[in-house]
Amino acid sequence: MPIYKAPVADTLFVLNDVLGYERYANLPGFADAGPDMLEAILGEAARVAENVMHPLNRVGDEQGCVRHEDGSVTTPKGFKEAYDQYREGGWMSLSLPAEFGGQGLPYTIHSAVGEYMSSANMALMMYPGLTQGAIAAILVHGTDEQKQTYVPKMTEGVWTGTMNLTEPHCGTDLGLLRTRAVPTGTGSYKISGQKIFISAGDHDMAENIIHLVLARIEGAPEGTKGISLFIVPKFKLDADGNPGEKNGVSCGSIEEKMGIHGNSTCVMNYDDAEGFLIGAENGGLRAMFVMMNEARLGVGLQGLSISEIAYQNAVAYAKERIQGRSLSGPKAPELKADPIIVHPDIRRNLMNMKAINEAGRALLLWTALQADVTRSSPDEAARQTAEDHMGLMTPIIKGVLTDKGFDHAVMAQQVFGGHGYIEEHGMSQFVRDARIAMIYEGANGIQALDLVGRKLAMNGGRAVQTFFKEVGDFCEENRANEQMAPFTKGIKKGLNDLQAATMWLMQNAMAKPDNAGAASTDYMHLFGLVALGYMWGRMVKTAQEKIAAGETAPLYEGKLVTGRYFMDRIMPETSAHLARISSGADSMMALDAEAF
């Protein structure tokens, strides 16, 4: 049975010591959540994740969801009760606006808590996770009446939400979608069509489910310009706003998936379902993007979450399993063999996971703080910088942390040897669950294209230049600091490779767009390495300052070693990425399709 312990001390180190959480106290929400309150909330979140969510993780995988003949769906045993505890504990409403019943706390805290909950039970956390995205779309694009009608119940968690984009023939290319919306003349629409891969599409945990559905209004233009977004409740609301008559929407089947069995992934059939336009007619794609950006950060967080719990279990096994002797002589002579954590190749796996998890956590929390700035800072310049940061980092966080999350689940499973391949140890579940995060909310190849094709050039490259300057300045400022030299040297080398790749793209992608596409995934990972390396620079500097001030703690010592490992073993990958990018698209694109 896998273990899990929320890494509260690391979250607090990053937020308080590295990122200067207290500097944000002027923003709304932060005033109510000073460092003491932050610690208390994280402590309580840890308790819920460890004791309520985590024990159901294997259960969810084993039992999965069941669709009954009437189209209703039952979630795994215990899921509803755990979800009730979650929403009654106020975890759903944490960072939602007070005017709709939320607690108005920072999004940053919501993110920190989200990591723990998704580590503990990714499949279960998707039910409230999708609801957060749906709420965000209604808050941004809905009318006041729509907000009043739906958001309070969703904030409370008694109703949940979904996102309905994909159809059998269209996923990435939403311009192809066929679901139709016919105006009734009374302000509503009749929605008909089939949507697939709908997470939390139907279940038994909420009194109503608010589907946000992309569809094409009769007569609308073809392609993405003719898509509108609709609210389609599972149960139509009666005059008092309570769920009444069943709407024309139902779960046609549950997909049999590789993982996240605890989440019901539904084929949803819409048959003249009553729907209400949200946002502008034919402006559906823009409205949906609000949900998608938030969701993409959430998926990046899932990558970290699975990586963290997989890591913790690999560590526990490596300390307990005895096999062979250390190459440098017995370390546990009283036993018949040493614990396998003495073996370098086991360490390599553990250190890789640790080095990327800790930097990934810092990158996510840094970005979450920027999200809070974009939401509520009174300073326009600060908001713009924060928006730039988020736009730039969203595809990187989604693409890189989910690729790494999966790799790490595989590494952790490898530490278990043959036992890792047996389902009862739970390591296979981490691999199978982590796999989806590379695919949904825009496959990682799409994230890379978003980065290279949109984010890089946006506003004349402002976001990327700001980032390069910040990282470059950090290296410059610490040039005289000898203790920092191995770190600034590694970061600087990575930054140079990233800047060279950026320059190569500027010079070669305009004339030949395939060069951008051919470079995209490598560029995303190269960027991710530099961003993670920069996080290591900041963490190490903070730890050095703490130690210099006499505050020794294993956490600080650990940062120095792990940061060094990152520079020694992970940062060198930047040069391979640069070499690949600079080779261009020629050998990648030269073969005729028939030659494959």
Q: Are 162 and 201 in contact (CB under 8 A)?
A: yes
Q: Are 396 and 364 in contact (CB under 8 A)?
A: no
CB closer to a second copy, 146 vs 575:
575
Active-site positions read 441
**Which residue from 240, 233, 303, 282 is spatially nearest to 447, judged by alpha carbons?**
303
CB closer to a second copy, 297 vs 581:
581
Q: Which residues of 251-277 are buried (b: 16+ CB within 10 A; e: fewer)?
A: beebeebebbbbbbbbbbbbeebbbbb
Phi-psi sector, 550: left (phi>0), alpha (psi -120 to 50), beta: left
> Could you tell me the smallest distance in angstroms from the CB atom of residue 50 to a second copy?
18
CB closer to a second copy, 28 vs 486:
486
Please count the other Cβ atoms lying within 10 Å of the Cβ belonging to residue 292. Answer: 21
CA-to-CA distance for 491 and 145, rounded, in angstroms? 51
Q: Are 213 and 248 in contact (CB under 8 A)?
A: no
> Could you tell me the smallest distance in angstroms from the CB atom of residue 262 to a second copy?
15
Q: How far is CA 68 from the centre of its chain?
A: 31
Q: Are 314 and 407 in contact (CB under 8 A)?
A: no
Residues recorded for the chain: 596
Looking at the DSSP assignment, which residues form a beta bridge with residue 237? 243
CA-to-CA distance for 398 and 528, rounded, in angstroms? 10
CB closer to a second copy, 82 vs 516:
516
CB closer to a second copy, 247 vs 413:
413
Q: Are 288 and 140 in contact (CB under 8 A)?
A: no
**Which residue from 65, 1, 54, 69 is spatially nearest to 257, judged by alpha carbons?**
65
Torsion of CA 48, 149, 383, 531, to 10 degrees: 40
**Which residue from 314, 321, 150 is spatially nearest to 230, judged by alpha carbons?**
150
Q: How far is CA 211 from the centre of its chain?
A: 21
CB closer to a second copy, 109 vs 198:
198
User: What are 445's two structure tokens?
Assistant: 């190849």
CA-to-CA distance for 9 and 291, rounded, in angstroms? 31
Q: Are 210 and 274 in contact (CB under 8 A)?
A: no
> Could you tell me the smallest distance in angstroms from the CB atom of residue 596 to a second copy?
4
CB closer to a second copy, 127 vs 556:
556
CB closer to a second copy, 98 vs 443:
443
CB closer to a second copy, 110 vs 435:
435
Q: Are 230 and 146 in contact (CB under 8 A)?
A: no
**Which residue from 12, 202, 217 is spatially nearest to 116, judged by alpha carbons?**
12
Is the CA virtual torsion 592, 593, 595, 596 positive or negative? positive
**Residue 455, CA distances (Å) to 460, 508, 524, 580 in order:** 10, 17, 11, 21
CB closer to a second copy, 241 vs 513:
513
Q: Where are the beta strands (DSSP E) in 200-255?
A: 208-217, 227-233, 235-237, 243-246, 249-254
Q: Are 467 and 499 in contact (CB under 8 A)?
A: no
- Residue 248 has phi, psi (to 5 degrees) of -80, 50
Helix (H, G, I), strand (E, B) or coil at 416: coil
**Which residue from 474, 133, 159 is spatially nearest to 287, judged by alpha carbons?**
133
